Structure 1
Amino acid sequence: MNTRQRFHAIMDFQPFDRLPILEWASWWDKTVERWRTEGLPNIANSRLATHFGLDEYLQDWIPPFDWAIPRPPHGSGYISDETGYQAITPHLFQLTDIWPVNPDKWQRLAARQASGNAVVWFTLEGFFWLPRRLLGIEPHLYAFYDQPHLMHRINAENTAWMLKVIDRICEFCTPDFMTFAEDLSYNNGPMLSHDLFNEFMLPYYQQIVPHLRRRGIRTIIDTDGDVTAAVGWFADAGLEGILPLERQAGVDLATIRRDFPQMRFIGHYDKMVMNRGETAMRAEFERLLPLARQGGFLPSCDHQTPPGVSLSQYHDYLRLFREYAFKAAAQEPNAR
């Protein structure tokens, strides 16, 4: 099997020859800085996956605004109300011949995908993520109650723009999957209620997800923290999968898989064990092995590899990953 065949076989709960060896998120800059002091060659970060012998999973993050707008401090917002939003609209939701879907980049991605040796995916900023980014973390949470019209306006305009972006991307190829960046959960669960999700997010997913499905693109939610309570919300919205399923936040994929057997998942390898030695790392792979054998699950670090992990420990992790990649294929996935 080539990389794409393997990905789609697993996502379709079909037999596969091994798991992909992948990092769905790039490495933390602090992690790479540490590794360079421990012998990692001084090569571009974009070449690290090849250096480590990983399968190619090539992502493009599609930004909803240009970079001419001054960036606020992390956690702060660009706007505080609808007047402020109106003022920055010249920077929002643009679509030109070269921005934000760069033709040269997407021609390269399409060529790699056509070879069968790369899985191509893209990310859009979703209906929790973008309003939070525009308003700032705390004001965003108040805005559900204090500025509902603004919240709906942002998400409606984002939806209209997304539909155009998807069609533009599909002029080059049909990506293997996409993610909605949301990060709507933390270590104690979702940061909004089911009712708020249904009012402010679900109507927009119901416009976008069918369009992606018609285009043949798999849909996956990217939300950190404990997503357990929201899995059913995403399933009701027609979304196919979730990542990264952070173990340290209390996520238990075995329980989620029991309740949602057709959902697809990426991640869930507890990054907090990666600096505890081979025995701990092997035990974590053993925990995930029964789930991986079922199909519909791509184990991977449940977020970026933290800087507490040495280069030597990361090599041990990859060696074990390759071992368990074949163990997962040793028996056929369960019929579904």
Structure 2
Amino acid sequence: MNMLTKRQNLLETINGGNPDRYVNQYEAFVCTDAIYGMIMGDPITAQGAFPMPGGEPAKNAWGITFAWPAGTPGAFPLHDAEHKVLKDITKWRDVVKAPETNLPAEAWAPFLPAVEAIDRNEVFATVFVAPGVFEQCHHLMGMEDCLMGFYEEPEEMHALIDYIVEYELKYAAELIKYFKPDCLFHHDDWGSSLNSFMAPDMFEEFIVPAYKKIYGFYKANGVELVVHHSDSYAANLVPHMIEMGIDIWQGCISSNNVPELIKKYGGQISFMGDIDNSLIDEENWTQESVSAEVQNSVKRCGKHYYIPCITQGGPGSVYPGVYEAITEELNRLNKEY
């Protein structure tokens, strides 16, 4: 009997069907040899610079300066007086300028061969989009100013979010025109390890309408799956994720009680994660410690509406070999079961 393709097996998993194995982390989305294996390169995001791990800070096309210290999972913006882009939310129209999206076809040409080489029967042609709406806000002004803005200047925050959404929709239209993706992998971290950054009511007011527009646009234009990354606590936001049109929440750390979420919401949304970086992605990791966490996750979460995966927002790990060790253990379990 022929095994299901990676794409088919993922669909069986999230639809409560008959998967013939555990989905192995990002295998169904790994499409090209880009940084994360997804379609990350495009001429719109290429307009700005981005730092490499342990390298010098770099400024992106929004004017935000990022640093990526060695030994950390990703880059984060600098918000000292010299580098903060937006110091006064009421003045955002004067200083916030979105990157150009109306680029000629020849600008897209170098990125097309890798996309055209994707076997769409085997995997999803997946576009990677980051940062998200909330992250873009606090990247511009800093986390404290951003959160205070929701309370002190709600009208200005709504206006800034509308501007970011307008850019995202223009960007999405170009991605769809040239890449014709069938899956979207979208970043936006919405919480810490203990709670969401915003109460659900505030989240519903400011963030939900933005994503209903963005994710609705992608789905209306041929994108079959929306995968949203937030490696945080966000169990209190799952009903809103469903309303937004998210198919898979990637990054759900174990503090969310993933088995309970599967029991409550399985069939409406699926969950990808439960293997916490904080527990295994360390300098002195071992195959035994990684294997134990993987076994615990698949045992408590089952095979439906769940994809065992490192909670990091893309294939890889801070310490070399950890991601591959998870993959190896899942391969072993699939052979065993």
TM-score higher than 0.5:
yes
Counterparts of 2:318 and 2:298 in 1: how far apart (Å)? Answer: 23
Indicate conservation of the 8 Å contact 1:120/1:175, yes or no. Answer: yes
- Per the alignment, residue 334 of structure 1 pairs with none
1:88-139 CA-to-partner distances (Å, cap 9, x unmatched) read: 34x414212259x844324422431446356423214322111111111111
Segments of structure 2 that go 5 or more residues without pairing to the other structure are 28-32, 49-59, 67-76
Indicate conservation of the 8 Å contact 1:291/1:297, yes or no. Answer: no
> Residue type matched to 2:256 in 1?
V
Alignment of 1:70-89 (within 5 A): 70-72=63-65, 74-76=77-79, 77-82=84-89, 84-89=91-96
Matched, 1:240 2:232: no
Indicate conservation of the 8 Å contact 1:79/1:134, yes or no. Answer: yes
Q: Please state how far the C-alpha of 1:173 moved relative to its aligned partner.
A: 4.1
Q: Please state how far the C-alpha of 1:168 moved relative to its aligned partner.
A: 1.8
1:28-86 CA-to-partner distances (Å, cap 9, x unmatched) read: xxxxxxxxxxxxxxxxxx5898xxxxxx6544587498435544463513112246422
Out of 257, 264, 270, the position equivalent to 2:262 is 257
- Per the alignment, residue 16 of structure 2 pairs with 13
User: Cα RMSD (Å) of the superposition?
Assistant: 3.3
Counterparts of 1:228 and 1:47 in 2: how far apart (Å)? Answer: 31
Counterparts of 1:135 and 1:64 in 2: how far apart (Å)? Answer: 22
Matched, 1:306 2:318: yes
Counterparts of 1:131 and 1:112 in 2: how far apart (Å)? Answer: 33
Alignment of 1:1-336 (within 5 A): 1-23=4-26, 46=33, 57-59=38-40, 63=45, 66=48, 67=60, 70-72=63-65, 74-76=77-79, 77-82=84-89, 84-89=91-96, 91-97=97-103, 102-114=108-120, 116=122, 119-217=125-223, 218-247=225-254, 250-262=255-267, 263-271=269-277, 272-273=279-280, 275=284, 277-290=286-299, 293-303=302-312, 305-307=317-319, 311=321, 316-326=325-335, 330=337
Counterparts of 1:175 and 1:85 in 2: how far apart (Å)? Answer: 33
> Residue type matched to 1:239 in 2?
I
Indicate conservation of the 8 Å contact 2:259/2:301, yes or no. Answer: no
1:172-206 CA-to-partner distances (Å, cap 9, x unmatched) read: 34423223322120022111112211211122222
Q: Which structure's relative contact order is higher, taking Cα pairs within 8 Å and 6+ residues apart?
A: 1
Counterparts of 1:258 and 1:323 in 2: how far apart (Å)? Answer: 26
Q: Secondary structure at the match of 2:327?
A: helix
TM-score by length of 1: 0.74
- Per the alignment, residue 52 of structure 1 pairs with none
Segments of structure 1 that go 5 or more residues without pairing to the other structure are 25-45, 50-55, 331-336
Counterparts of 1:164 and 1:12 in 2: how far apart (Å)? Answer: 31
Dislocated runs of 4+, deviation >4 Å: 46-49, 56-66, 290-293, 313-316
Q: Secondary structure at the match of 2:173?
A: helix
Identity %: 15
Structure 1 residues 267 and 60: alpha-carbon distance in aligned structure 2, compared to 1, 3 A threshold: farther
Structure 1 residues 229 and 117: alpha-carbon distance in aligned structure 2, compared to 1, 3 A threshold: closer
